[in-house]
């Protein structure tokens, strides 16, 4: 039997303990608003025979109220806040500017990366238009709660980059940092787009997939390339390619599965060497981004990045790409003050957006609804 803190908030009728468990079911476990009451029906709550399970509408109101509190929560004015800024676009004309952040002095110690619980919601602004001056105004609005931030990190979308630079030009104590994950994706995109073998490979892979998806060989289908953020999600496809190449190398000794793979993917032998090269590109960028995610940016971090990448097997390394990532680390870390560590990755905000879309579920087909306020319940503790 579950037991809860039975303290009831002023003006409420449900205990703090029940509300907190509801929040954890939705945020941590990903349970839908409607399914929460079913979970309470399965597990007795110990709240007495008159207690009823939370309704979907009740759960929704609690998430919205927690989100509203996150927007109104008093925050300490300080000069070491960092902001992460990004926009989420859905059906319709409205997009949402989300600005979470925290104090640099309270960053988790390496190697733990920045998590949703480390952040505070600083601004949540629905808007139909976005450009440099609008983003600058959004940042000014957020700074009224925290003081002028030390760092603004983003994916450098044109409007966000322009607005951040306008803000920093007005407040020289603020530095603008480019997200390492998006930089790595751009580096990969540049290389893959220049390689004609990649376009041919993707085309032939798609043709094979369409031929086998309704056959008994559908189990051999390749992972799908994401339409968005394709070059941030290549690892699963390249791992699958290596497995298929191993089956092809087995020949008749590999049994039925190898024979089926040869029949469908025999053409991949032509790409064996280049697939290995592509895998080195991807692994080099992925391990570099892992370093920035867990270690951040600080003076001289390019030397530690070099040490980090040299620990990997030679078969996974690509010297030219490593040199590009060292240069990126050096340029970005020059903005850090001596002894200061800046945030180097904004991937945590993508995780927040993912949880928000899970919270919305079918509501997302209606565009951005009032449930957008629930974003505040997904950030912090």
pLDDT per residue over 197-252, tens digit each? 999 999 999 999 999 999 999 999 999 988 777 888 899 999 999 999 999 999 87
- Greatest pairwise CA separation for the chain in angstroms: 74
pLDDT at 162: 97
Q: What is the pLDDT of residue 9?
A: 86
Residues 253-258, mean pLDDT to the nearest whole number: 87
**In CATH, which superfamily holds the domain spanning 81-177+346-378?**
Ribonuclease H-like superfamily/Ribonuclease H (3.30.420.10)
pLDDT class for 2, splitting at 50, 70, 90? low
Domain ranges of the chain: 16-54, 81-177+346-378, 184-333
Mean pLDDT of the chain: 92
Instruction: Determine the pLDDT at residue 227.
Output: 75
Q: How far apart are CA 87 and CA 99, in angstroms?
A: 9
Among residues 150, 157, 156, 133, the alpha carbon closest in space to that of 83 is found at 150
What pLDDT band is residue 50 in, cutting at 50, 70 and 90? very low
Confidence check: pLDDT of 47 > 60: no
Q: Could you tell me the two tokens for 136? A: 């600058």
Residue 180: both structure tokens together: 């390492």
| Cα distance between residue 180 and residue 313, in whole Å | 22
| Per-residue buried b or exposed e for 310-326, using 16+ beta carbons within 10 Å of the residue's own CB | eeeeeeebbeebbebbb
Q: Quick one: what percent of the chain has pLDDT higher than 90? A: 78
Range 331-344 average pLDDT? 97
Between CA 213 and CA 220, with CA 219 as vertex, the angle to 5 degrees is 85
pLDDT in tens, 139-195: 999 999 999 999 999 999 999 999 999 999 999 999 999 999 999 999 999 999 999
Dig out the tokens for 248 from the structure: 């092809």
**What per-residue confidence (pLDDT) applies to 46?**
57
Tens of pLDDT, residue by residue over 273-316, are 999 999 999 999 999 999 999 999 999 999 999 999 999 998 88
Element holding 124 (H helix, E strand): strand 120-127
Report the distance separating Cα 9 and Cα 4, nearest Å: 14
- pLDDT confidence of 3, banded at 50, 70, 90? low
Percent of the chain past pLDDT 70, that is, above it, reads 97
pLDDT of residue 12: 83
């Amino acid at each position: 039997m579950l037991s809860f803190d039975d303290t009831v908030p002023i003006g409420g009728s449900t205990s703090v303990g029940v509300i907190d468990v509801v929040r954890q079911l939705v945020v941590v476990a990903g349970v839908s608003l409607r399914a929460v009451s079913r979970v309470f029906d399965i597990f007795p709550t110990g709240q007495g025979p008159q207690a009823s399970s939370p309704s979907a509408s009740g759960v929704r109101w609690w998430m919205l109220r927690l989100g509203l509190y996150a927007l109104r929560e008093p925050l300490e004015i300080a000069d070491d806040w960092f902001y992460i800024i990004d926009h989420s676009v859905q059906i319709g004309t409205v997009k949402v500017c989300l600005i979470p952040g925290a104090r640099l002095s309270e960053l988790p110690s390496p190697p733990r990366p920045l998590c949703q619980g480390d952040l505070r919601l600083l601004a949540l602004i629905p808007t139909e238009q976005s450009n440099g001056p609008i983003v600058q105004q959004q940042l000014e609005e957020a700074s009224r709660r925290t003081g002028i931030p030390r760092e603004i990190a983003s994916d450098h979308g044109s409007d966000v980059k322009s607005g951040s630079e306008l803000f920093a030009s007005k407040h020289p104590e603020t530095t603008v940092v480019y997200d390492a994950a998006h930089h790595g994706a751009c580096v990969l995109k540049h290389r893959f787009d220049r390689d004609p073998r990649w376009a041919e490979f993707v085309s032939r892979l798609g043709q094979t997939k369409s031929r086998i998806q309704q056959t008994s060989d559908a189990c051999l289908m390749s992972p799908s390339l994401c339409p968005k953020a394709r070059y941030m999600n290549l690892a699963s496809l390249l791992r699958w390619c290596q497995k298929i190449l191993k089956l092809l190398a087995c020949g008749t000794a590999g049994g039925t599965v190898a024979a089926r793979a040869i029949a469908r993917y025999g053409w991949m032998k032509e790409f064996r060497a280049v697939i290995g090269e592509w895998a080195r590109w991807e692994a080099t960028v992925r391990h570099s981004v892992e370093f920035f995610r867990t270690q951040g940016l600080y003076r001289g971090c390019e030397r530690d990045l070099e040490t980090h990448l040299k620990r990997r097997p030679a078969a996974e390394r690509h010297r030219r790409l490593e040199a590009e990532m060292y240069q990126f680390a050096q340029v970005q870390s020059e903005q850090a003050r001596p002894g200061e560590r800046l945030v180097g990755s904004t991937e945590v905000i993508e995780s927040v957006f993912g949880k928000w879309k899970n919270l919305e579920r079918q509501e997302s087909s209606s565009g951005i609804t009032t449930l957008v306020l629930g974003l505040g319940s997904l950030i912090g503790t």
